[in-house]
Amino acid sequence: MPRKPSYNKDDLIVLAKELFWKKGWAGTSMKDLESTLNMRPGSFYAAFGSKDRLFELAIEQYAKEGLARLERMKQKYGAFEALKRFPGEIVSGKDIPVRACMLSKTLLELQGQDNVLSEKANYHLTAMEKKFAAFFKEAQMDGHIRNDLNVKKLARRYQSDLMGLRITAERKDVDAKVLAKEISHDIVATLAVK
């Protein structure tokens, strides 16, 4: 009977996610992974097969957490308020390795190299965009957002602006909270039912 591994695979994926998010795909060496996960090469390959496969699991984990976080905000505040609060939330998080979105980082790093992982990142970005569209739709049904607006377009623009915000938040000497407030303010100013 094979010995039961002494690690919890989900915990390791979370650790790998933090590392990849901070250092990127190329910037994370096998040595970094082995040290962070406290695994020898043999166990690493037995558990994950390859660095790329683990990276895939890591961005899946990242996307899952993002969607769950949005869902929690909606439960607490409702869809419209969640959309308004989200920009501020993502730039004020303290326990994150970097401010930029891991999916944007992956797309930018690997698209130009035709690495298939950039397609995976795009897949998760699309899922996130759909989530935003569902929130805008709900905000419309709740009577908060004008009915003549196309929720798919709103979601795409919202997501695009947030990606910009999160890059800007990486810059030194830039107070991204001010920018986040402006984005939230504009949602009310331009979309809300008067």
Q: Which two tokens stand for residue 149?
A: 């607006």
* 145: helix, strand or coil: strand
Q: Which of residues 98-137 bind a copy of itself (CB under 8 A)?
A: 98, 100, 104-105, 107-113, 119, 122, 125-126
Amino acid sitting at position 99: R
Distances (CA, A) of 54 to 20, 37, 115: 10, 12, 15
Distance between start and end Cα atoms, the chain: 68
Q: Which of residues 163-192 bind a copy of itself (CB under 8 A)?
A: 163-165, 167-168, 170-174, 178-179, 182, 186, 189-190
Could you say whether residue 43 binds a copy of itself (CB under 8 A)? no
Could you say whether residue 85 binds a copy of itself (CB under 8 A)? no
Q: Treating both helix axes as pointing N-terminal to C-terminal, what angle do 51-77 and 79-92 enclose, rounded to 10 degrees? A: 130
Contact 157, 183 (CB under 8 A): no
Of the residues 76, 97, 130, 141, which one makes contact with a copy of itself according to CB under 8 A: 97
Q: From the CB of 166, what's the least distance to a copy of itself, in Å?
A: 9
Binding site for a copy of itself (CB under 8 A): 21-24, 26-27, 97-98, 100, 104-105, 107-113, 119, 122, 125-126, 153, 156-157, 159-165, 167-168, 170-174, 178-179, 182, 186, 189-190
